[in-house]
Amino acid sequence: MVLESLSTSLKNTLKKVARSLFVDERLINELVRDIQRAMLQADVNVKLIFELTSKIKERALKEEPPNGVGQKEFIVKIVYDQLVTFLGEEKKEISAFKGKNTKILLVGLFGSGKTTSIIKMANYYAKRGFKVAAVGLDVHRPAAMDQLEQGMNQMNFPVFVDHTEKDPKKIYKKYQGNLEKFDIVLIDTAGRDALSKDLIEEIENLNTLIRPDERLLILSADVGQAAQKQAEQFNKSCGITGVVVTKLDGTAKGGGALSACAATHAPIIFIGVGEKPEDLEPFNPKGFVGRLLGMGDIEALLEKAKESIGEEDAKEIGEKILKGDFNFLDLYQQLQSMKKLGPINKIMEMIPGLGAMNIPKEMLDIQEEKLHLWKHMMQSMTKEELEDPELLGGSRLDRIAKGSGTAVAGVRELLKQYRQSKKLVKMVKGKDPSKLMKKFAGKIPGMKW
């Protein structure tokens, strides 16, 4: 997952709290030290770390848990709360609606991910029914126009580029009329090695001409806490309305970049978590921290589901997963629908409780071909076998393997998958290790589960 090592350290820290016999100052000091160590490794600024942990310590020592909430549960809640505050509390979205011609200017240094983010954002908004288009104003890098054009063409989205014109203002003016009929216009600009006078001037000129609704700074997460300086400089020179933090998938320093943005009060709107068009997520501090701590992020899961399988189906899957009484057919349906949402391990971390568990890797790594085989096996089963997979043994296994042209070992594997899934769902329903969080989350208003 994104920020894997930070997440693992924080989850282990919270498990320590859960396992401790009682809460005392020693435990709180240890918790604080663990969090500090984890944050330092994620390249978070030392001053920010101290502010965060002294707040956690102060609250943990002074505040009393509300009625019905245990000490340990309360500590977890404090860590969650403070991390959310640390990352900027509110979720900011771009104000866009159909019929409004929202113009979004993307700015940033070389290679920060501007062009890639345009393709991702085009995909994001198109999937939500917006009419999107992009216009290329990067006249500096020779291949820039081709990159934008190819990326947009691959997705069948309209794109306006000019391969010969050297003045970005002229390119914009040429297409201005065409761009008016789109709900969202994404504007690609040129980067530089640093925020030079030349770049500031170029952005100012485009700003005056285009009057964009949003000026987004694209920041690569691998700059770590140096993101603060970049955000401050860009904001001072050209005024930014939001940030997209890219490449969070490929760096351990992401915590530094995210907290640095929060410290400058630059709202993070999206995060980039891969190179593909779908690797973009709206940034929601609550959900993000939930996932980081292994508590899940149902909102993100439903967002994803809406995108790929429609709202109704998404709701149904959610209900089935949480209900937990399923047979082979349900398992198959679930796996298939979940496949559509994306890699299963990415989905798992959004489901409350699952993120905190050590799920066997082979279980998450279900290949499309395997799903096909399983379908054949299920077609060779009787209705009662489908409804009660535990009936499967000896001769039934042989018969199913023969009937589906597969091997007995394969049918056993399906059975194993079924049992594991069932066990997993049982755990989510209230046993180990999510028990603690689940129990207390229900009691605290605003806590998402």
Ligand X SMILES: Nc1nc2c(ncn2[C@@H]2O[C@H](COP(=O)(O)OP(=O)(O)OP(=O)(O)O)[C@@H](O)[C@H]2O)c(=O)[nH]1
Q: Which residues bind ligand X (CB under 6 A)?
A: 108, 110-116, 138, 141, 144, 191, 218, 246-247, 249-250, 272-275, 279
Q: How far is CA 332 from CA 96, 280, 327, 425, in A?
A: 38, 28, 9, 15
- Smallest distance, Å, CB 88 to Mg ion? 26
At closest approach, how far in Å is the CB of 279 from ligand X?
6
Q: Which is nearer to ligand X, 189 or 259 (CB)?
A: 189
Residue from 45, 82, 112, 115 that binds Mg ion (CB under 5 A)?
A: 115
CB of 120 to ligand X, least distance (A): 8
Which positions ≥6 away from 98 have C-beta within 8 Å? 129, 130, 131, 183
189 binds Mg ion (CB under 5 A): no
Question: Do 223 and 111 form a contact (C-beta atoms < 8 A)?
Answer: no
Q: Which of 57, 77, 114, 438 binds Mg ion (CB under 5 A)?
A: 114
Of 317-376, binders to Mg ion (CB under 5 A) are none
| Cβ proximity of 284 and 130 under 8 Å | no
**Residue 11 in contact with Mg ion, rule: CB under 5 A:** no
Q: Which does 202 bind (CB under 5 to 8 A by kind): Mg ion, ligand X, none?
A: none
434 forms part of the interface with Mg ion (CB under 5 A): no
Nearer to ligand X among residue 275 and residue 313 (C-beta): 275
Among 179, 184, 257, 262, smallest CA distance to 218 is for: 257
Minimum separation from the CB atom of position 114 to ligand X (A): 3
Burial 231-241 (b: 16+ CB within 10 A, else e): beebbebbebb
Rule CB under 5 A: is residue 246 a binding residue for Mg ion? no
Which of Mg ion, ligand X, none does residue 272 bind (CB under 5 to 8 Å by kind)?
Answer: ligand X
Looking at beta carbons only, is 114 or 286 nearer to Mg ion? 114
**Which residue has its beta carbon closest to Mg ion?**
115
- Is the sign of the CA dihedral 161, 207, 192, 111 positive or negative? negative
Element (H, E) at 177: helix 168-179
Residue 324 CB contacts under 8 Å (≥ 6 apart), including other chains: 422, 425, 426, 428, 429
Kindly state the smallest distance separating residue 207's Cβ from Mg ion, in Å. 18
In the complex with ligand X, which residue's Cβ is closer, 87 or 444? 87
Nearer to ligand X, 192 or 340 (CB): 192
Contacting residues for 409 by C-beta, under 8 A, at least 6 apart:
none
> For ligand X, which is the closer residue by CB, 247 or 304?
247
Q: Are 250 and 143 in contact (CB under 8 A)?
A: no
* CB of 321 or CB of 350, closer to ligand X: 350
45 binds Mg ion (CB under 5 A): no
Residues 6+ positions from 135 with CB-CB distance below 8 Å: 159, 160, 161, 171, 172, 175, 179, 185, 186, 187, 188
Tell me how many residues contact Mg ion (CB under 5 A). Answer: 2
Instruction: Give the span between the Cα atoms of 11 and 355, in whole angstroms.
Output: 9
Rule CB under 5 A: which residues touch Mg ion? 114-115
